Structures are given as C-alpha cells and as structure tokens.
Amino acid sequence: VSSYKNILIESNGKVGLITLNRPKALNALSSELFHEINDALEKYQNDPEIGAIVITGSDRAFAAGADIKEMQDKTFAEVYKSNFLGHWGKINEIRKPIIAAVNGFALGGGCELAMSCDIVYAGVKATFGQPEIKLGVIPGAGGTQRLTRAIGKSKAMEIVLSGRNFTAEEAERWGIVSKVLPVDKVLEEAINLAQQIASLSQPVVQAGKESVNNGTSFELSLKEGCHFERRLFQGTFALRDQKEGMKAFIEKREPKWTNE
C-alpha cells in the first residue's frame, strides 16, 4: 500500500503505472503531486523488474496544469530563491522509457508533462494547450522549448502567444502525439506498447532513448533552453498581471491587465 495522496501506482509485469488522481482539481500538478510523481519515477527507475513506465490521468483530465491556487500569491523573490518548480525537471533524468496516456485536458504544465514523456498516446477527445499567457505567465516546464522543437517556430508561437488549445488530431499531425485512439483504448494500448518495450534489453532501450533525445536540440541544448525558460517563468511572478491573471481564474472572471 502506497502513502501517496495524489497518485496511484501499480505495476503490471514489467510495466510501472502512475495514475494522477486529484480529480477535484482536474489533476492540477501541485508541488506535492509532482514530488509524488518524482518519487514513483525514482522507485520504478531503481526497480530492475520494471522496463517501462506509463503515466496517465482520468478520462476528463490528464492534468489541467500547475496548481494555480498554489502559485497565485507567490512573489518573484520566493519563486526565484526556491527555484520554484525546479523539481519538475526530474522526469528528464529518468532513463527508462515513459509513455503518456492522455485523455481530456492536457493544459499548461499538463501538456508539458505529456511532452516530457518519450511517447504520447492520446484519446480522440484529448485537449492540449499552453494557456499560461492568459494567466499572465509563460510556460515554465519546457513548453516553449519542446513545443518549438516538435512543431516549429510559427505554430509554437501561435500556440504559446495566443494560448489557444489544440486537438489530439492536430497534436498527432504535428508529431507531439504518436497515436490517437478511442478514449477507452488509450491506456490499454499504452500499456501494451510499454510491455513490448519492456520485453526488450533495458540498456539497449535506454541507449535508444538517450540517442533520440540527442537528436532533438537546436541552438541551445534542451537543458539550457528549459533553464532559461524557467527563469523567465519565475520572472513573471514579479508582475501585477500574474497576480491578476491567476486571481481572475480562481474568481471565474476575465482578467484586467495593467501591463505591470
């Protein structure tokens, strides 16, 4: 029996499954939740029986982003000094393959979490997006970096600067998602794929993962790009507009931007 409050874990043969389980908040990725993901990833990484990992949410939400209620009142000094959400980078150090099985909302940090996985399977009704701009912040967990590397500059600019959502079908066409499936088949197929991968040689699979990852960088390495992006994301907490954007979301109203 695990002591996690926000996730469920279950291993199935050689596959380790992590299910985000904070339904009331649409799996919003609070710090506590993300620490639990990290802890579970670390356990699977260290378990020689496990050859692949699957991360999933519910039919309604993979994850609706970082936790806006937790973030809204933070100051720049706080987020910068504590390297706020720096622990989100841990998933990028996991050497075993990770498959995201996405249904429902994968927004903001939820979209970034999916893109941090090695392979993404999505349900036909999945909704992706980087809506941070509407909250007065920018993506902070690789959104501007992984999206741009995956879909190119113009499309990434459109998504990040407008904050509009995109569909599973678009995500597949753009190469972010490898397969679109009926809602009730996503997890099953992700686990099947994970089982196939887990039946292969672990060090060879790890080498394949490492090598593909080396093929995805442009001018800045992904690590440098994500570092720079996180600093700018933290920097938005110095703005009044970040307080207003997040407050407006929680109060369920349109934000009034003051450009300060």
* Helix orientation angle between 153-162 and 143-151, rounded to the nearest 10 degrees: 140
Query: Is there a contact between 180 and 127 (Cβ–Cβ < 8 Å)?
Result: no
Find the shortest distance in angstroms from Cβ 136 to ligand CO8: 10
The one-letter amino acid code at 97 reads P
Instruction: Single out the residue of 58, 57, 56 nearest to residue 191, CA to CA.
Output: 56
**For ligand CO8, the closer CB: 2 or 75:** 75
d(CA 151, CA 170): 10
Query: Is there a contact between 178 and 204 (Cβ–Cβ < 8 Å)?
Result: no
Burial of 227 by CB count in 10 Å (0-12 exposed, 13-18 middle, 19+ buried)? middle
Residues interacting with ligand CO8, by CB under 6 A? 25-26, 28, 64-69, 85, 88, 105, 107-109, 131-132, 135, 140-141, 230, 233
Find the shortest distance in angstroms from Cβ 108 to ligand CO8: 2
**For ligand CO8, the closer CB: 16 or 109:** 109
Cα distance from N-terminal residue to C-terminal residue, the chain: 48
Query: Is there a contact between 13 and 19 (Cβ–Cβ < 8 Å)?
Result: no
**For ligand CO8, the closer CB: 36 or 132:** 132
**For ligand CO8, the closer CB: 141 or 159:** 141
Find the shortest distance in angstroms from Cβ 81 to ligand CO8: 14
Helix (H) or strand (E) holding 180: strand 179-181
Find the shortest distance in angstroms from Cβ 58 to ligand CO8: 12
d(CA 212, CA 75): 38
Annotated catalytic residues are 66, 109, 112, 132
**For ligand CO8, the closer CB: 91 or 193:** 91
Find the shortest distance in angstroms from Cβ 4 to ligand CO8: 19
